[in-house]
Structure 1
Amino acid sequence: MRVFLFVLLLLARPALAAEGCHADVTCQLGDRSYHVLTPDGWDGVTPLPVLMHFHGWQRQGTLIVKHQRISGATRRRGVLLVAPNGERKTWDFWRPGSKDVAFGAAVLEDVRKRYPVIEDQIFVSGYSWGSNMAWRFVCERGEGIAALLAISGTLDQDETCATRPGEVRQVYGLNDQVLDFPYGPGGDTTWPVKLWRDAMGCGAGEARGPWRQVEFLTLERTVWEACAHGRVSLDIHPGGHFITHGWIARQLDELLGLPPSYP
């Protein structure tokens, strides 16, 4: 009986490994593609949280599955990393109705066919141009998305979003020279998440003070928890346009109820 059950488990495993679709090797989806990276030590059966990360301008998913500040975080925390490839290495996020939103949704559906997914632990992330795209995605297909993890990029704060994720977490550098920090009226530094504070019906924010993952970079966090729906947090730092050291790792630790760790 035990041998029979073991054979059944093997047959039930996703066909992805047999197809060679993993890490550097793309998963084809029509005329588009994406990358996946399983976490360290995964047994091939246990359901997984998912982080779908949109790459920056002129990048591809091949970078994401090797990037220690992204894949290094997911691999160590039991999270399946999904990295869609933008056409011409960019994304269409400027207006509602982007075909890249539909593509992102199709990627998640394809992932569900290949892997056992924990449905209430699907996170969407992005950096720079990819952060803008992640905003657009959850603005239109945010139902069922547990959290948006956005790095150095937003949409205009007067956008009207049809949907919202369960939670929004944003990080931005005050000295960003690529996508300028979006100060609000009077130099308001909470402006980068105004859209989501309004959409979620949030009251006053609470300053949580400084924190760091590495000694050379201190972040200041403001959190809005008195919301009609969900939760919003904003981390700001004095640096520029980069994927913040350990930021994705810390967000996943908090969202998954894990002890904070680095990397």
Structure 2
Amino acid sequence: MRLIFLLALLFLAPPVHACTGMEECALGDRAYHVREPDGWDGTTPLPVMLHFHGWGRQGETIMGHARIAGATVPRGVLLVAPDGLGRSWDFRQPGSRDTPFAEAVLADVGARYPLDGRVIVSGYSWGALMAARFTCETQVPIAALLLVSGAFPRGMACDGQPGRVSQVYGTTDTVLDFPYGPDGDETEAVALWRRQLDCGPPSRTFEWEAVSWLTHTRHQWDCAAGLVTMDVHPASHLIPRGWFARILDEVLAPA
């Protein structure tokens, strides 16, 4: 019944827009933030990107973030950023209190905005760990999971199976150390998701860059249950310029 209720809100709710930009959306004793895409007509159903902020931040930071909001706003994506209690997230153990909170956020957004059913979940640093925890625990169908500079180990218990997982990580990260696997495997960060989506060997490996000073090596798997990509770069604990924009273009491209 919980899944039916959530799906109904994502697809059927009438538009009652409210609390956008830096204005806080109260939800019980907690809150979240919303930013609408540029040029939206107020009625066309929208995909939503639920973003979990990094440690020490809050959702309002995301509303003005050039590399996050700067990617969603021109692409017709409704950006939603919950506030973590104590500016952090409960991601370490199963049964996170933040999973039902984030589901309630999506339900409240669905009661205020017309949504088209596509839910993208993303996070940076500790927010990436919460995004993974949420995806493993929720009953909401996840179209894509986008993870920046944070990854759970392959042995984590997980029931989630998003349609796509994309990870980006810097090899010189010393905040959340880059997770090398056996024999120096640089794709260990997505081992959990390769298992969840039933992936075989990489189908493609290539290089790309959004800015001239940072080259990414893309590892890609075409899996039985979806797609997994991992972008590796030589910088540290950051959100690479242009990464969200590129991945959203790929996720939103017509099938």
Normalised TM-score (structure 2): 0.92
- Tell me how far 1:206 sits from its aligned partner: 2.8
Structure 2 match to 1:249: 245
- Tell me how far 1:177 sits from its aligned partner: 1.0
Structure 1 match to 2:228: 232
The aligned length equals 242
Structure 2 match to 1:52: 50
Read off the aligned partner of 1:192 and give its amino acid letter. A
Q: Which residues in structure 2 correspond to 1:22-101 (within 5 Å)?
A: 22-101=20-99
Give structure 1 stretches of 5+ with no counterpart: 1-11, 259-263
Read off the aligned partner of 2:141 and give its amino acid letter. G
Structure 2 match to 1:109: 107
Distance 1:185 1:142 in 2: 33
Checking the alignment, whether the CA contact within 8 Å between 1:143 and 1:164 is kept in structure 2 is: no
- Tell me how far 1:16 sits from its aligned partner: 2.8
Checking the alignment, whether the CA contact within 8 Å between 2:15 and 2:111 is kept in structure 1 is: yes
Q: Which has the larger radius of gyration?
A: 1
Read off the aligned partner of 1:216 and give its amino acid letter. W
Distance 1:251 1:158 in 2: 26
Structure 1 runs of 4+ with >6 Å offset:
none
Structure 2 match to 1:118: 116
Distance 2:84 2:194 in 1: 29
Distance 1:26 1:188 in 2: 42
Distance 1:76 1:242 in 2: 22
Normalised TM-score (structure 1): 0.89
Structure 2 match to 1:175: 172
Q: After superposition, give the CA deviation of every residue in 1:189-226 in whole Å (9 maximum; x if it has no partner).
A: 1111001111111100134311011111110001110x
Moved more, 153-162 or 31-40: 153-162
Distance 2:139 2:155 in 1: 17
- Tell me how far 1:15 sits from its aligned partner: 2.9
Structure 2 match to 1:135: 132
Q: Percent identity?
A: 55
- Tell me how far 1:142 sits from its aligned partner: 5.8
Distance verdict in 2 for CA 1:101–1:216, change over 3 Å: same
Distance 2:105 2:86 in 1: 18
- Tell me how far 1:107 sits from its aligned partner: 0.6
Q: After superposition, give the CA deviation of every residue in 1:143-181 in whole Å (9 maximum; x if it has no partner).
A: 411000000001122101022211100000000010000
- Tell me how far 1:14 sits from its aligned partner: 3.0
Q: After superposition, give the CA deviation of every residue in 1:78-136 in whole Å (9 maximum; x if it has no partner).
A: 100000000010001001100101111111111100001110x2100000010010010
> CA-atom RMSD, angstroms?
1.3
Structure 1 match to 2:144: 147
Distance verdict in 2 for CA 1:142–1:182, change over 3 Å: farther
Checking the alignment, whether the CA contact within 8 Å between 1:129 and 1:153 is kept in structure 2 is: yes
Distance 1:231 1:16 in 2: 33
Give structure 2 stretches of 5+ with no counterpart: 1-12
RCO comparison, higher one (Cα < 8 Å, 6+): 2
Distance 1:206 1:216 in 2: 26
Query: Helix, strand or coil: the match of 1:39?
Result: coil
Structure 2 match to 1:5: none
Structure 2 match to 1:8: none
Checking the alignment, whether the CA contact within 8 Å between 1:26 and 1:35 is kept in structure 2 is: yes
